[in-house]
């Protein structure tokens, strides 16, 4: 695992050029039967197709062949951070997903409300999947817990899921889960895996003791377990490693959070693709790199709705002229992973990718799709190298060695 | 970064076969507009084209996607030495470029003549780009400097550029540049970055003091700065890692120097391609591997002269029958990087590569060019793996593992 940032730190130069990376979440798909077309191949994408002979197609392997990534590693790869080197814990991802602004002194924990029986054993690990409003009210109560030496934040996620954050000096995430992953047994104590996390484990246990008291008369959610106890990974900033001022235009909190992880500036994206395009235009002169996130090619794939994924792809295509009107030096359209509606889940299939720039060895005209990408000039590449190509085509890298 | 030489040391065997690697410097190019052809695609290359169905095409990535290499890393990669592991300093490369035979006890330094004002500040970092003959005369004076404990060599490069070499036991290159990269400030002292380089820094400063005295009445070149203070990297020999006796047939000193870096035998290449072919034939029985370097596809690309690059490519093609007449077991034609005339510089674009051998899974007939190479049987590969393929097709590698 060579750290490409050792190169980009040395070779970066600023020539004022602009790069736009459009991430259509879960873009890659599958045909429903042999001889069939994928969602992207079915979609009418005249604007993207028009860019093919002005650029290159290729297939991005998010992590390694066969590995289906979550949103975290999927995006880190596209941002040029090796997703096998930088691992994001579940607690951190859950906090990012509700737009909680994590800092370097925070420990983030994914909590699950659960049901304890009279003997103190877990009878339901998800507390009957309580409604979100009930979970939110319980979180309000827990948010009032005070523990000497740290700030405590408790925030609802959805249904039985919550986030707990402890903020203070010298905290560590090196602590086992308290969820025993079984019923009929008591929840576990928080146990430090190393000497440096003993203090944080004590804080977890103090919190759990107070929570047990507060929740004892509630039903079915009369306790909670902790999972994925984590601190923010040490991630160098996008500006430091690439020399790019980066702005993120994402509607969903998770993707704003992932952009914040690499210290992109999170811009007000509004609610619609039109809002996102308006933001891009308004902030065009303020940044060198724009990350634009489009969620719905993933969510429709997860729903198993082939036709809806086709339609959402066509909506994205319709926004391309607004981007091209700004004359970016490099436009990339890709995905963080595939989400074939046939599988109703993230998958490992390489992701169709288009890179358009004047310095391409241009591809012949083609419909933008999985099959044409397989034959494209970018070849099949690991996602973590995409930023190197973006920088090269933007004229932002010096020669390596003499 | 797996060191492939761990494998080749174990697996190499000698079957008397012959490998010829022709490096057409900067071979890869770009079309001038969408739908256009590259220089190589434009060139008439009947002899190379005839080898396509007797071999494989592919695209070589010199270092990593997006990284445009200098000549040093470009050639090290082709020779099978990871260009991210073996880094060659500027001083060493400059010495190689003037055919100076560096040894293991040498520290090589790139010097720049500069102009100091009356206050001792740099007023011109390049001394008005003095003519080469003036620089050469100043170097003759500086070459007479003596410093106890080391031999001193001062050689002109071109205009204001020179090379200084100190030869002696226990020298180190771990020293900062003395060029402040600015005018209006004095040149810096040579400062050791570690205890082991303190002695060498003293030698640099003693040299600079004597040079200041010798040059003080000259104008505009009345002093010099030092950059890229370096020793030869520790590079295992070509013969040791591959079991190949290698001969280099290169007209330009830089490429003879790069061949010498990996301990190839540098042969008398004459001045023309005909001279190089005559040398190849004359020495055919004396070596197992021949590196033949053709400079002009790079220099014409650097000049931005598309037509001249096409013509230089055709000249190389005309030499191919002379090579094939010797019946090499493996012929490779590739480049150390691309130099598109559109960009007038080295670039990161993968390099068209042809490997012809009887053991190929032969490609269909095609014109040798970037587009056909993208579809070729070698695929897209990192340059550092090319030597493995050469050895395999030459029958010079045992099976790995039982």
DSSP symbols for A106-136? EEEEEEEEEEE-TTS-EEETTGGG--HHHHH
| Angstroms from B376 CA to nearest CA on chain A | 11
Q: Please check the confidence at residue A296 and state whether its pLDDT lies above 80.
A: yes
Pairing of strands B289-294, B246-250: parallel
**Which of B26, B35, B60, B67 to mutate to probe the A interface, most A CBs <10 Å?**
B67
Q: Say what the pLDDT of residue B233 is.
A: 85
Give the separation between CA B41 and CA B313, rounded to whole angstroms. Answer: 10
Give the separation between CA A353 and CA B214, rounded to whole angstroms. Answer: 61
In A320-360, DSSP assigns E strands to: 330-334, 351-356
Q: Say what the pLDDT of residue A1 is.
A: 65
Give the separation between CA A221 and CA A162, rounded to whole angstroms. Answer: 12
Mean pLDDT value of segment A32-46? 97
- What residues in chain B have per-residue pLDDT under 50? none
- Per-residue pLDDT tens over the stretch A62-86: 999 999 999 999 999 999 999 999 9
Confidence of residue A20 (pLDDT cuts 50, 70, 90): very high
Are B66 and A392 in contact by the 8 Å Cβ rule? The answer is yes
| Angstroms from B1 CA to nearest CA on chain A | 6
Which residues make up the CATH 3.40.720.10 domain(s) of chain B? 5-87+235-393
Q: What is the DSSP string of A292-308?
A: EEE-HHHHHHHTT-HHH
Are A26 and A312 in contact by the 8 Å Cβ rule? The answer is no
Mean pLDDT value of segment A217-228? 96
Give the separation between CA A146 and CA B315, rounded to whole angstroms. Answer: 81
Contacts of B350 in chain A (CB under 8 A): 379
Which residues make up the CATH 3.40.720.10 domain(s) of chain A? 4-86+235-393
Q: Please check the confidence at residue A240 and state whether its pLDDT lies above 80.
A: yes
Contacts of A392 in chain B (CB under 8 A): 65-68, 347-348
Mean pLDDT value of segment A177-198? 95
CA of A58: which chain B residue's CA is closest? B374
Contacts of A387 in chain B (CB under 8 A): 66
Q: What is the DSSP string of A10-30?
A: HHB------EEEEEETTBB--
The three-point CA angle B106-B112-B113 to 5° equals: 125
| Angstroms from B33 CA to nearest CA on chain A | 8
Mean pLDDT value of segment A123-135? 95
CB atoms < 10 A from the CB of B214, how many? 16
A4: contact with B, CB 8 A cutoff: yes
| Angstroms from A142 CA to nearest CA on chain B | 49
What ipTM describes this predicted complex?
0.90
| Angstroms from B85 CA to nearest CA on chain A | 10
In words, the CATH class of domain B5-87+235-393 is alpha beta
A357: contact with B, CB 8 A cutoff: no
Q: What does pLDDT average to over chain A?
A: 96
Q: How far is CA A18 from CA A263, A280, A327, B67, B259, in A?
A: 18, 12, 8, 19, 40
The beta-carbon neighbor of B66 closest among A362, A389, A402 is A389
- Per-residue pLDDT tens over the stretch A317-368: 999 999 999 999 999 999 999 999 999 999 999 999 999 999 999 999 999 9
A54: contact with B, CB 8 A cutoff: yes
Is A329 strand, coil or helix? coil
Give the separation between CA A208 and CA A226, rounded to whole angstroms. Answer: 9
Contacts of B71 in chain A (CB under 8 A): 402
Q: Please check the confidence at residue A6 and state whether its pLDDT lies above 90.
A: yes
A195: contact with B, CB 8 A cutoff: no
The CA-based dihedral angle spanning residues B238, B264, B257, B390, taken in that order and rounded to the nearest 10 degrees? -60
Structure tokens that stand for A235 in this block:
């991630």
The beta-carbon neighbor of B1 closest among A2, A359, A393 is A2
Contacts of A375 in chain B (CB under 8 A): 374-375
Which CATH architecture describes the domain A4-86+235-393?
3-Layer(aba) Sandwich (3.40)
Q: Say what the pLDDT of residue B2 is.
A: 80
Give the separation between CA A350 and CA A101, rounded to whole angstroms. Answer: 32
For the packed helices A71-78 and A386-393, what is the interaxial angle rounded to 10 degrees? Answer: 30
Q: Say what the pLDDT of residue B1 is.
A: 66
């Amino acid at each position: 695992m060579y750290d490409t940032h050792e190169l980009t730190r040395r070779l970066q130069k600023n020539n004022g050029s602009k790069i736009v990376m459009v991430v259509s979440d879960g873009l890659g798909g599958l045909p429903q039967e042999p001889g069939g077309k994928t969602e992207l191949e079915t979609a009418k994408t005249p604007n993207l197709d028009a860019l093919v002979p002005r650029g290159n197609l290729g297939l991005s392997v998010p992590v390694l062949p066969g590995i289906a990534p979550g949103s975290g590693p999927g995006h880190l790869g596209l941002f040029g951070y090796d997703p096998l080197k930088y691992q994001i814990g579940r607690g951190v991802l859950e906090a990012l997903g509700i737009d909680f602004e994590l800092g370097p002194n925070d420990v983030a924990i994914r909590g699950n409300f659960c049901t304890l029986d009279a003997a103190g054993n877990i009878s339901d690990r998800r507390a009957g999947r309580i409604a979100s409003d009930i979970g939110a009210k319980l979180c309000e109560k827990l948010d009032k817990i005070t523990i000497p030496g740290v700030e405590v934040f408790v925030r609802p996620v959805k249904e039985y899921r919550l986030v707990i954050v402890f903020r203070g000096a010298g905290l560590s995430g090196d602590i086992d889960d308290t969820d025993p992953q079984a019923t009929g047994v008591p929840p576990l104590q928080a146990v430090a895996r190393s000497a440096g996390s003993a203090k944080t484990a004590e804080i977890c246990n103090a919190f759990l003791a107070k929570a047990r008291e507060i929740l004892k008369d509630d039903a079915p959610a009369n306790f909670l377990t902790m999972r994925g106890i984590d601190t923010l990974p040490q991630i160098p900033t996008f500006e430091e490693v690439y020399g790019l001022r980066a702005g993120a235009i994402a509607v969903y909190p998770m993707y704003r959070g992932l952009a914040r992880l690499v210290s992109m500036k999170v811009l007000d994206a509004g609610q619609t693709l039109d809002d996102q395009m308006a933001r891009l235009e308004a902030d065009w002169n303020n940044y060198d790199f724009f990350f634009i996130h489009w969620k719905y090619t993933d969510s429709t794939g997860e729903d198993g709705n082939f036709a809806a994924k086709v339609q959402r792809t066509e909506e994205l295509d319709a926004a391309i002229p607004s981007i091209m009107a700004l004359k970016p030096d490099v436009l990339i359209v890709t995905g963080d992973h595939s989400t074939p509606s046939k599988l109703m889940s993230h998958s490992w299939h390489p992701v169709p990718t288009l890179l358009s720039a004047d310095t391409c060895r241009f591809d012949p005209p083609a419909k933008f799709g999985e099959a044409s990408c397989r034959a494209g000039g970018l070849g099949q590449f690991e996602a973590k190298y995409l930023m190197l190509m973006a920088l090269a085509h933007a004229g932002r890298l010096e020669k390596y060695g003499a």
